[in-house]
A and B are shown apart, each in its own frame.
Chain A
Amino acid sequence: MDEPSVTGPLRDAAGEGIIHTRALTKRYRGGQLAVDGLDLTVPAGSVFGFLGPNGSGKTTTIRMLMGLIEPTSGTAHVLGHPMPRATRAVLPHVGALIEGPALYGFLSGRDNLLRYDSADPSADPRTRRARVAAALDRVGLAAAAGKKAKAYSLGMKQRLGLAAALLQPRRLLVLDEPTNGLDPQGMREIRALIRELASDGTTVFLSSHLLDEIEQVCTHAAVMAQGRLITQGTVADLAAGMRGRLVVTTPDTADAARVLKERGVGDVAVTEDGVTGEPPEGELAELNAALVAAGVRVRGFGVERASLEDAFVALTGEGFDVAG
């Protein structure tokens, strides 16, 4: 995709980030606190994963960033401009997929995109058809463009929603669960597309409940729970913050556990086919040698890297299917 040719007065605000919120808070009528004092910074050029259990305030945050919901207090800046005041200046540079696609079932896929494009007063009507065709092609829907959208499968609707976000060269893409409803091949295609867009310099703000998706695609991530931001940083740092776990696979679990404890390994736990513990400082090979010397039949020995999922569960204290 070409670089946006018109950037005008939109400044990059290098120190501030593409998205920057300060004490962003939303309390719904009825008193429910959906987002509580959010300080979020999305660096330019990053692929930013936005994580959190259901009901943690992710969608409310995205809607505030897109000017759909007025914050109760605090500020949100997107592309250096305050939202929701500057929606008309900012949003033509932002492509968004929010809480799944929404389409006119009685219109064809192509006509859906033509309609969304004509809703943007900064979109050139002379290039509209060509841009719509390019967007359809990009998400692999060119062949189904003439079909009525109500006949689309969930995956096709999802692709059409993505195409709507790609009608113009964007500086920021906000994608809420972009691979929802896609088959594995479709997921792979969309992830490849996201990487491609990111390598062109588009900042991608990606909300997903698939942790391996975030791990595969994102450079940065933030974790929300119960309306609060728990942590944000690079994906590598988040996972590195978690220490890995020493895993010894052996049938002689009792002996192995005894040896490990003698050697000062903490939090030793016996599992079905081995023993795990916190890896000690120093050379691991010596530990292995000690186990072998004690007659333990070691079948596997190593440190399992902590995944983002471990980090997530450790941070939020719950899995993804639990409402926060």
Chain B
Amino acid sequence: MSQAEVIGSRRSPLWTFGLLRSELTTTFRRWRTLALLGVLAAVPVLVGIAVKIETSDSSSLGGGGGGEGPAFITQITNNGLFLVFTALAATLPFFLPMAIGVVAGDAIAGEANAGTLRYLLVAPAGRTRLLLTKYATTLAFCLAATLVVAVSALTVGALLFPLGDLTTISGTRISFAEGLARALLIALVVAASLIGVAALGLFVSTLTNSGIAAMATTVGLLITVQILDQIPQLHAIQPYFFSHYWLSFADLMREPVYWDDLIRNLGLQALYAIVFGSAAWARFTTKDITA
């Protein structure tokens, strides 16, 4: 698998991206993918409508000292743009990573389950190339899923609530245009926060021939880590959980931006990508394909 021998001179190196293109179109044309994106798009709609109903008789939300909602939720009635931040904060702990877990967990194991893996490898797709293609597609799905939440939230926010200049967490005023730019930046950071889960899911996917088992294991790990992250006695290892700094994206709404946790988050995601990406590669390139 390591020795690449180019046969023929008319072959273009660009042809190798045919598999990535095929993978992307195949993934995004699947009903399952569309259903996951649909669920993600529905979350901001539900949050928006709930906030609208809740505040239709009084002017402010949670004035009676109710429970703590997701970050920024009290600001939505003043500015629809805050629905983007609220929706991302609401979907990042579970909905988004669960969707990633499904796509990443199914990446290799699903092909093995259907038997299509052996035909891709005999084509020959090349094991490293196939793995990279699968990871790139999973990351593309991370970005698409996050943007679906953000765009849906922005649309609902614009329809139900006023838009305009907004107040940062630090109390300063920024223009709507800058707020929009921050919203995009936050969406990108949220998408990047999912890199670790994607790598973990891909690694799990190389361990089994059952797509369902890989998906369930990845989502199970996700829930376990979220629970462990809440247990105070484990604070020594919590900074190494992939989800530990997830909500640091809110720091992008400070003035000036507080970068420390944001950078820790991105560094942690890169570490997960390297560790589990390497593990997935080591496993997949030496595995006997018997499915």
Binding site for B on A (CB under 8 A): 5-10, 28, 63, 66-70, 84-89, 91-92, 94, 96, 98-100, 102-107, 114-125, 128, 164
* Chain B contacts for A87, CB-based, 8 A: 1, 121, 124, 126
Select A121's contact among B1, B122, B129, B288, beta carbons within 8 Å. Answer: B129
User: How far is it, in angstroms, between the C-alpha of A9 and the C-alpha of B130 when the chains are bound?
Assistant: 25
Q: B99-134 CB contact bits vs A (8 Å, 1 = yes)? A: 000000000000000111011111111100110000
Chosen A-B contacts, 15 in total, with CB atoms closer than 8 Å, are A6-B8, A8-B7, A63-B290, A66-B118, A67-B122, A88-B126, A89-B3, A89-B7, A91-B123, A94-B122, A98-B119, A102-B118, A119-B130, A121-B11, A121-B15
CB of A120, distance to nearest CB on chain B (Å): 4
Give the A-B pair count, Cβ closer than 8 A: 129
> A92-B124, A98-B122 given as contacts; is B7 within 8 A of A118 (CB)?
no
CB of B249, distance to nearest CB on chain A (Å): 35
Stretch at the interface among B19-27, B175-183, B263-271: B19-27
CB of A15, distance to nearest CB on chain B (Å): 22
> A88-B4, A89-B7, A91-B123 given as contacts; is B290 within 8 A of A121 (CB)?
no
* Chain B contacts for A106, CB-based, 8 A: 29-31
> A70-B288, A115-B22, A121-B19 given as contacts; is B7 within 8 A of A9 (CB)?
yes
User: How far is it, in angstroms, between the C-alpha of A87 and the C-alpha of B26 when the chains are bound?
Assistant: 25
* Chain B contacts for A85, CB-based, 8 A: 1-3
CB of B110, distance to nearest CB on chain A (Å): 10
Select A119's contact among B7, B114, B123, B288, beta carbons within 8 Å. Answer: B123
Whether A92 lies near B7 (C-beta < 8 A) is yes
> A85-B3, A88-B4 given as contacts; is B124 within 8 A of A124 (CB)?
no
User: How far is it, in angstroms, between the C-alpha of A96 and the C-alpha of B5 when the chains are bound?
Assistant: 20
CB of B120, distance to nearest CB on chain A (Å): 5
Tell yes or no: B286 within 8 A of A by CB: yes
Tell yes or no: B256 within 8 A of A by CB: no
- State which size class the interface on B falls in: 35 or more
Tell yes or no: B172 within 8 A of A by CB: no
* Chain A contacts for B6, CB-based, 8 A: 8
* Given contact pairs A67-B1, A119-B125, a sample of 18 additional A-B residue pairs in the complex whose CB atoms are under 8 Å apart: A5-B8, A6-B8, A63-B118, A63-B290, A68-B290, A85-B2, A85-B3, A87-B1, A88-B3, A88-B124, A91-B124, A116-B123, A117-B18, A120-B124, A121-B16, A121-B18, A121-B126, A122-B7
Which chain A residue lies CB-closest to B8? A6
Which chain B residue lies CB-closest to A107? B26
User: How far is it, in angstroms, between the C-alpha of A123 and the C-alpha of B18 when the chains are bound?
Assistant: 9
Tell yes or no: B274 within 8 A of A by CB: no
* Chain B contacts for A7, CB-based, 8 A: 7
Whether B3 lies near A68 (C-beta < 8 A) is no
User: How far is it, in angstroms, between the C-alpha of A28 and the C-alpha of B129 when the chains are bound?
Assistant: 26
* Chain A contacts for B116, CB-based, 8 A: 102-104
Whether A119 lies near B26 (C-beta < 8 A) is no
User: How far is it, in angstroms, between the C-alpha of A9 and the C-alpha of B30 when the chains are bound?
Assistant: 41
* Chain B contacts for A119, CB-based, 8 A: 18-19, 22, 119-120, 123-125, 130
User: How far is it, in angstroms, between the C-alpha of A70 and the C-alpha of B114 when the chains are bound?
Assistant: 21
Which chain B residue lies CB-closest to A111? B26
Whether A122 lies near B290 (C-beta < 8 A) is no
* Chain A contacts for B26, CB-based, 8 A: 104, 107, 115
Whether B7 lies near A102 (C-beta < 8 A) is no
CB of A45, distance to nearest CB on chain B (Å): 21
Whether A6 lies near B288 (C-beta < 8 A) is no
* Chain A contacts for B123, CB-based, 8 A: 91, 116-117, 119-120
